[in-house]
Amino acid sequence: MQIPHFACDAMLGGLARWLRAAGYDASWRADIDDWDLVRHALKEKSVLLSADTGIFRIGIVRDGEVPALLIPTGLKIAEQLRFVLEKLKLDVREPRCMACGGMLTSVAKENVRAKVPARTFDWLDDFYQCQRCQRVFWQGTHWQRISERLRDVKPGR
């Protein structure tokens, strides 16, 4: 099965970030309207995710030309993520950049000295950089908390 990409509606910015943490590329814009989102999903061959029932009345969404999943309202972000993973039978994968969804690659420590706090640079050896936006990441306490939350939302738990 091909790894899905996601196009999230304006109400699902938190879900987009957590899909990225779970290893999936997910686009999101706060100001996107329904038709622009549908066109984007169609062009990018993405699964459209929306909490807005109105978007499912658009013909190409309703008829399945654009694959889409209605996210139930009232769910917390972790519950939304679990819902998507379960409905689409997906597992948690290697994380992507939570800011843009780009792939993370290992980068030499010396190459990121100017981009990370000095204390972090001193106590860690492994750093990762987003291939898309060039942000630098490391497996500190924040990364560990994210990993714990992802373990909690894995399908079947």
Start-to-end C-alpha separation, the chain = 23
Q: What is the pTM of this model?
A: 0.87
What tokens were used for 132? 């898309």
**Spatial separation of the C-alpha atoms in residues 58 and 20, rounded to whole Å:** 27
Query: Looking at residues 109-128, what average pLDDT do you find?
Result: 92
**Helix, strand, coil shares, percent, the chain, to 5:** 40, 15, 45
pLDDT tens digits, residue range 47-89? 999 999 999 999 999 999 999 999 999 999 999 999 999 999 9
**Residues 6+ positions from 32 with CB-CB distance below 8 Å:** 9, 10, 40
Just give the CATH number of 6-87: 3.40.50.2300
Q: Domains of the chain: which residue ranges?
A: 6-87, 104-153
**Spatial separation of the C-alpha atoms in residues 40 and 94, rounded to whole Å:** 25
The helix or strand, by DSSP H or E, that contains position 17, with its residue range, turns out to be helix 13-21
pLDDT for the residue numbered 141: 75
